[in-house]
């Protein structure tokens, strides 16, 4: 319990520090007045608008107004859409989240078995092919991989649609394109494109973990007990490997959402990534700030969840905490 409360306090502190950095950083990008205000406008009109947006006040004052609003759940109004920034982001969020979840699913469901295979037979040709593939996945530019995926599966083979999000289905009150067949056909390529980096990482982590754990005495003792190979691999080995894998997958979630910018642009996926690129182009400051704060909160929450999951999987961590 103490462990969870301390982590929560840390999280709040980090969020506060990040809000300062985000605000200062975004302020440095440029003056939105230059873009928002019609160059033909009179000086008086200009001043009125600047005052209305609060851009004439000192920076720290703008920050405290911003922070005060934040605490009330008000992330400002988009200069462009003239609607609450948070609403606009939340409208776009499900598309990005489903993309990220689909990517994680692909990375884990394909990555762990491939990593196990490569780790259990490190000298087999198939294992070397898996590792070579993971290096390619890691090092070739993501946008190029995306374009190749479209070329191969959509243009040449014609199996999957080229771009966009499919129809949205409803399941248990959640609305997502994952719940329709056509939606799944649409998400397959972008999700795989987004997953490639993480997939390569999961394969390498699982393989490295397997190579490290299999020669250990407790595996030999498990064999000496007469356990079946299945149980040795999926319980004794996997439980030990899962710790780093869960950590990496959890921590990479935020990164996936950020990286979705590239994938969403290539596949014209209507998520937050595409929104933020558009907003940066027109210096729509409230959207940018709100987006960044949402990302910060996502990162911090994930950190917290990973820490807690970690302590469930690895009993030694709980003990260390208790011993402090």
Note the residues at the interface with another protein (CB under 8 A). Answer: 216-218, 220-228, 231, 235-236, 239-240, 243, 313-316, 319
Smaller CB separation from another protein, 6 or 223: 223
The SS3 call for residue 77 is strand
Tell me the DSSP string of 26-59: HHTT--HHHHHS-TTS-HHHHHHHHHHHTTTS-H
Dihedral Cα 217, 218, 223, 225, nearest 10 deg: 120
Helices (H), the chain: 2-27, 32-36, 43-53, 59-71, 85-120, 125-139, 142-149, 181-213, 217-224, 229-231, 238-266, 272-281, 285-313, 315-323
Smaller CB separation from another protein, 248 or 313: 313
- Minimum distance of another protein from residue 114's CB (angstroms): 22
Token pair listed for 127: 């294992």
Smaller CB separation from another protein, 34 or 217: 217
The SS3 call for residue 171 is strand
The SS3 call for residue 122 is coil
Smaller CB separation from another protein, 222 or 294: 222
Smaller CB separation from another protein, 73 or 226: 226
């Amino acid at each position: 319990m103490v462990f969870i409360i301390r982590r929560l306090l840390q999280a709040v502190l980090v969020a506060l520090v990040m809000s300062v950095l985000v605000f200062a950083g975004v302020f440095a990008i440029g003056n939105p007045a230059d873009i928002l205000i019609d160059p033909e406008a009179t000086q008086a009109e200009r001043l009125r608008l600047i005052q209305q947006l609060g851009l004439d006040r000192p920076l720290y004052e703008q920050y405290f107004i911003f922070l005060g609003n934040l605490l009330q759940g008000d992330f400002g109004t988009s200069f462009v859409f003239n609607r609450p920034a948070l609403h606009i982001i939340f409208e776009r969020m499900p598309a990005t989240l489903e993309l990220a979840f689909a990517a994680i699913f692909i990375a884990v469901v394909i990555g762990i078995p491939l990593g196990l295979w490569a780790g259990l037979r490190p000298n087999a040709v198939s294992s070397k092919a898996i590792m070579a593939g993971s290096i390619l996945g890691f090092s070739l530019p993501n946008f190029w991989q995306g374009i190749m995926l479209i070329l191969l599966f959509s243009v040449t083979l014609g199996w999957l649609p080229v771009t966009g999000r499919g129809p949205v289905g409803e399941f248990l009150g959640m609305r997502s394109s994952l719940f329709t067949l056509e939606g799944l056909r649409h998400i397959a390529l972008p999700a795989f494109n987004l997953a490639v980096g993480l997939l390569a990482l999961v394969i390498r982590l699982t393989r490295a973990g397997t190579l490290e754990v299999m020669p250990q005495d407790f595996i030999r003792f498990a064999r000496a007990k007469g356990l079946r190979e299945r149980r040795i691999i999926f319980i004794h080995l996997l439980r030990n490997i899962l710790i780093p894998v869960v950590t990496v997958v959890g921590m990479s979630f935020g990164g996936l959402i950020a990286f979705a910018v590239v994938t969403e642009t290539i596949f014209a996926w209507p998520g937050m990534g595409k929104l933020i690129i558009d907003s940066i182009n027109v210096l729509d400051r409230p959207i940018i700030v709100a987006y960044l704060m949402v990302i910060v909160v996502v990162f911090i929450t994930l950190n917290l969840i990973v820490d807690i999951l970690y302590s469930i999987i690895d009993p030694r961590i709980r003990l260390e905490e208790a011993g402090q």
